[in-house]
Amino acid sequence: MTQRQLQILYRTSWTIALLVVAIPFIFPFVWMVTAGFKSVTEIFGAPTLIPRVWRWENYVEVFTYQPFARQYFNSLYIAIGVTALTLFVSSLAGYALARMRFAGAGLLMVLLIAALMVPEEVTIIPNFFLMRSLSLVDTHWPLILLPTFGAQGIMATFLMRQYFLALPKELEDAGKMDGLTRFGVWWRIALPMSRPALAAVAIITFLNSWNLFLEPLIFLSSLEMFTLPLALSNFNDSYGLPLWNLQLAATTLAVVPILVVYLIAQRHIIESFALSGVKG
């Protein structure tokens, strides 16, 4: 057997082994997608992976049973808004913590990291009273402001700080010699060079905001204001029992955006986490 044949055999063996290992992870997703085309009777009566009768009308009924299109739009624009605001705030704060020397910078970083250790359930009640005092309950503002300036924003700031620490300081010095202000150095030099970190923060923030459940459950009460996580649990019959076929069809639709975004930019997440530990 030649060297080339051995390489082909080695790669084929590894591919087959990885496919076998991936089956337990892929099977629930495939079952969810196919079950969205079944009736409730077929899902529980005689379960099969491939539907005996493909019920395409399930996906039509999803939009007629409740304002699913409006709820889909709510999740989409909230996730985009949180992502854009988090990128702006975390990049500014991360750059300041990485490059600017001021009294208490080390203590501030320690406090930010300590804040990450506080469970979300501990702060949700004080945040609710705060939002209620500002008349923001049953609006989308808590779902935008709290993640941006809460634990999610702190984690994004930490990632951006670590990435900015790894950038060559000589490039910033050259920018200052050319007359750039501190803001100009951040905008024209630091940000363009931190695209992998920005992409990773954007993807992680988008996914977290898209899947947010506790905050919408606490702050929202109107059906038209619901986001997708709340909407998915609202497909019930007149007896309060779940309509599993509609829930699974709606869940399949909800997975599509985050799946596409992650598959397109997953390389940036790995690169950013790898580079975030270069300097501390």
In the chain the first and final C-alpha atoms are separated, in Å, by 50
Q: Residue 78 CA to chain centroid, in angstroms?
A: 12
Q: Given this model, what pLDDT does residue 162 score? A: 87
For residue 236, which phi and psi values (nearest 5 degrees)? -125, 155
Enter the tokens of residue 264: 């397109």
Domains of the chain, CATH where assigned: 67-236+255-275 (1.10.3720.10)
pTM for the predicted model, two decimal places:
0.84
Mean pLDDT across the chain: 86
Taking residues 221-246, what's their average pLDDT?
88
Q: Given this model, what pLDDT does residue 2 score? A: 76
Q: Amino acid identity, residue 22?
A: A
pLDDT of residue 122 exceeding 60, the answer is yes
pLDDT digits (tens, 9 = 90+) for 72-117: 999 999 999 999 999 999 999 999 888 888 787 778 888 888 888 8
Other Cβ atoms closer than 10 A to 47: 10
pLDDT of residue 278 exceeding 50, the answer is no
